Structure 1
């Protein structure tokens, strides 16, 4: 517990010194997000609640915290929020189908010893829980890409106020291409880093490559990585198009107002 307090203090000091007020907001948002995740888990345990709906609402709230609480309410954050919601809905429907077809939900045989004393009749749909896990695991990366693109496109519009909607969209796509590779690899190493001990265990158990690939735990993890990458790839064109449309539309409205005033 003392180590957690010390690390929290160090993180807070660094975020305060480097990020200022926004850094403090980012630190506070960690606790808000943690509380939201705990609430999401409790709601999923209710047999009358649909995990997919709970995940969608939870993702929307987490996106609000990450975008509006940290970066204030403006056109950039509003566009990023709308793009995030659209991407989450598409990804949620896709992941639900993939989880059902792949049958990777639930627990693997490697976990049977730890779960032997517990009842698995918990009354929840593990296929939907599996889809929810993927969405919650990727919501941070999706919002990060969305706000990065809208902010960069905003700077492009400021330096080139007469840029066309098509050129602004292509600018967002070029920015997204630079982000795509690094974010996908970040997700890959983050997920695999958490399961490094499991891979070592597979080696000690003399699992062949085929056994590892066909393991339910490994397959579920790979599906999570691929779906997360799909989400990061989807958010780029969605954010670029929505931001280009509304940015140029707002510029046209301002030009109309100036013309009427003259």
Structure 2
């Protein structure tokens, strides 16, 4: 407990020193988002609640905290929020179809021993739970890319007020190309860092490559990474177009 408090205090001090008031809000937002996730998990245990609807509500709240609480309500955060919601809806429909066909819902053989004393008949749809888990895993990366594109597009418009909508859109895409590779690699290495123990266990048990790739635990995590990558790829043109459209429209209305 003392270690957690010390690490939290160090993080809080560094975020204030580097980010100022925005850094303090970012630190508070961590706990707010944790609270949202915790409440979402609690409500998901109720069989009468649809996990997909609950996930959409949680995604909206998390996006509002991440975008509006940290960066305040302005034109760039509004466009980033709209882009995030559009991407989440598209991605959710795709994930629902993919999760059901890939049959990655539920638990793998490697987790069976730990769960053997518990009953799995808890009255929830594991296909929807699987889709909800993937969405929750990608929402942070999607909102991050959305604001990372909208913010510099706002700056370039301030420095070049006469820029056309097409050129502004291309500028957003050029930023997205740089973000795409780094964020995808971040998700990939986060998986290997988090599941390094599992991979070592696979090696000690002399699992062949085919067994590892086809195991439910490995496949579920890789599918999560691929879906997150798809979400990041989708959010780039969506944010670029929406931001360019609304920013140029607002500029033209002000000129008139």
TM-score, structure 2 normalization: 0.99
* Alpha-carbon distance between aligned partners in 1 of 2:61 and 2:192, rounded to the nearest angstrom: 27
Task: Provide the aligned length of Structure 1 versus Structure 2.
Answer: 256
* Alpha-carbon distance between aligned partners in 2 of 1:144 and 1:74, rounded to the nearest angstrom: 16
1:216 aligns with 2:198: no
Cα deviation code 1:11-37 (max 9, x no counterpart): 000001110000000000011000000
Unaligned stretches of 5+ in structure 1? 257-262
Instruction: Quote the residue 1:164 is aligned against.
Output: 164
* Alpha-carbon distance between aligned partners in 2 of 1:118 and 1:61, rounded to the nearest angstrom: 32
Structure 1 residue 155 displacement after superposition: 1.0
Instruction: Quote the residue 2:78 is aligned against.
Output: 78
Once superposed, which parts of structure 1, at least 4 consecutive aligned residues long, lie more than 6 Å away?
A: none
RMSD: 0.6
Instruction: Quote the residue 1:236 is aligned against.
Output: 236
Q: What is the 5 A alignment of 1:105-184?
A: 105-184=105-184
* Alpha-carbon distance between aligned partners in 2 of 1:53 and 1:220, rounded to the nearest angstrom: 22
* Alpha-carbon distance between aligned partners in 1 of 2:3 and 2:103, rounded to the nearest angstrom: 39
SS of residue paired to 2:206: coil
Cα deviation code 1:32-80 (max 9, x no counterpart): 0000000000111111111001000100000000000000000000000
Structure 1 residue 122 displacement after superposition: 1.1
Q: What is the 5 A alignment of 1:1-262?
A: 1-256=1-256
* Alpha-carbon distance between aligned partners in 1 of 2:42 and 2:110, rounded to the nearest angstrom: 26
SS of residue paired to 1:61: helix
* Alpha-carbon distance between aligned partners in 2 of 1:191 and 1:57, rounded to the nearest angstrom: 26
